[in-house]
């Protein structure tokens, strides 16, 4: 399962990079209600979902550091330059350990929320993704007939997410929602639109705002680009 998991995701990761090239700008993203789109559970919360396919997941790379208030910034290295990668590399060479912000894999899972009756995304770390992917694969042949309870338990580093198949749906409305979702498919654009991708200058400006000594690394960059304004999105809203 392990090997299969890796091979499936790496090819999908390439597709993500291609989609960055096609839509490098942020035009769509300001219209997206990220709070609605992303599943953000608190400790002991759960939702009922239906999986519309057994591989509705994409991998991408992102930069994060709680210490530096750098939250889930999409890595653009596959599409050319990435200022966060360059900053991390400079930090490594110059002993700035607090700026060790190299890119890590994140995974977006698409699920159909049976209460809200819409496709929503969950942003998972690699370890969380392994568990989710393994459960989805295990029930791959039953996804068209089986709803899943998606739950969170614990906080911070103790947080775990689980998917539990439900033997039956007790609520009539949920059953109706489940049936109505038959035939729905997850569009690649759902994933594309869900990521905030800054331009290189935007990344440099962002690093400057966070206190990184940008003038040492990005001597020729003009950091006058206005910040991306995304309404309805706060650090607390996103589960990563
Ligand atoms: Zn990067």
Question: What pLDDT, in 10s, does the model give residues 172-195?
Answer: 999 999 999 999 999 888 898 898
Q: How far is the CA of 83 from the centre of ligand 1 (A)?
A: 6
Beta strands 118-125 and 104-113, pairing class: antiparallel
Residue 77 CA, ligand 1 centroid: distance in Å = 5
> Cα(26) to centroid of ligand 1, in Å?
18
pLDDT tens digits, 92-151: 999 999 999 999 999 999 999 999 999 999 999 999 999 999 999 999 999 999 999 999
Using the mean position of ligand 1's atoms as its centre, give its distance from the Cα of residue 18 in Å. 15
Long-range CB pairs of 202-209, under 8 A, 24+ apart, other chains included:
202/227, 202/228, 203/73, 203/76, 203/82, 203/83, 203/84, 204/83, 206/73, 206/83, 207/83, 207/84, 207/87
Per-residue pLDDT band for 228 (boundaries 50, 70, 90) equals low
> How far is ligand 1, taken at its centre, from the CA of residue 189, in Å?
22
Q: Mean pLDDT over residues 165-170, rounded?
A: 94
Q: How far is the CA of 76 from the centre of ligand 1 (A)?
A: 5
How much is the pLDDT for 165?
Answer: 96
Q: What is the pTM of this model?
A: 0.77
| % of the chain residues with pLDDT over 90 | 67
pLDDT (mean) for 2-10: 43
Distance (Å) from CA 45 to ligand 1 centroid:
33
Ligand 1 centroid–CA 103 distance in Å is 5
pLDDT (tens digit, 9 = 90+) per residue, 41-99? Answer: 999 999 999 999 999 999 999 999 999 999 999 999 988 899 999 999 999 999 999 99
Per-residue pLDDT, 192: 86
Separation of 89 CA from ligand 1 center, angstroms?
Answer: 10
Q: How far is the CA of 4 from the centre of ligand 1 (A)?
A: 26
Provide the pLDDT for residue 145.
96
């Amino acid at each position: 399962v392990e090997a299969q998991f890796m091979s499936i995701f790496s090819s999908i990761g390439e597709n993500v990079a291609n989609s960055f090239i096609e839509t490098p700008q942020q035009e769509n993203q300001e219209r997206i209600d990220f709070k609605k789109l992303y599943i953000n559970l608190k400790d002991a919360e759960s939702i009922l979902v239906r999986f519309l396919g057994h591989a509705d997941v994409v991998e991408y790379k992102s930069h994060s550091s709680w210490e530096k208030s750098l939250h889930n910034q999409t890595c653009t290295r596959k599409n050319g330059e990435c200022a966060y990668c360059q900053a991390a590399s400079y930090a490594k060479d110059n002993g700035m350990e607090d700026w060790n912000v190299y890119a890590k894999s994140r995974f977006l899972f698409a699920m159909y929320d049976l209460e809200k009756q819409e496709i929503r995304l969950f942003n998972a770390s690699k370890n969380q993704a392994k568990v989710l992917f393994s459960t989805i694969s295990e029930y791959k042949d039953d996804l068209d007939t089986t709803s899943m309870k998606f739950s969170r338990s614990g906080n911070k580093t103790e947080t775990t997410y689980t998917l539990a198949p439900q033997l039956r749906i007790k609520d009539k409305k949920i059953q109706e929602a489940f049936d109505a979702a038959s035939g729905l498919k997850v569009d690649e654009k759902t994933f594309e639109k869900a990521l905030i991708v800054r331009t290189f200058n935007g990344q440099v400006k962002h690093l400057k705002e966070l206190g990184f000594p940008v003038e040492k690394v990005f001597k020729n960059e003009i950091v006058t680009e206005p910040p991306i304004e995304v309404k309805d999105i706060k650090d607390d809203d996103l589960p990563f």
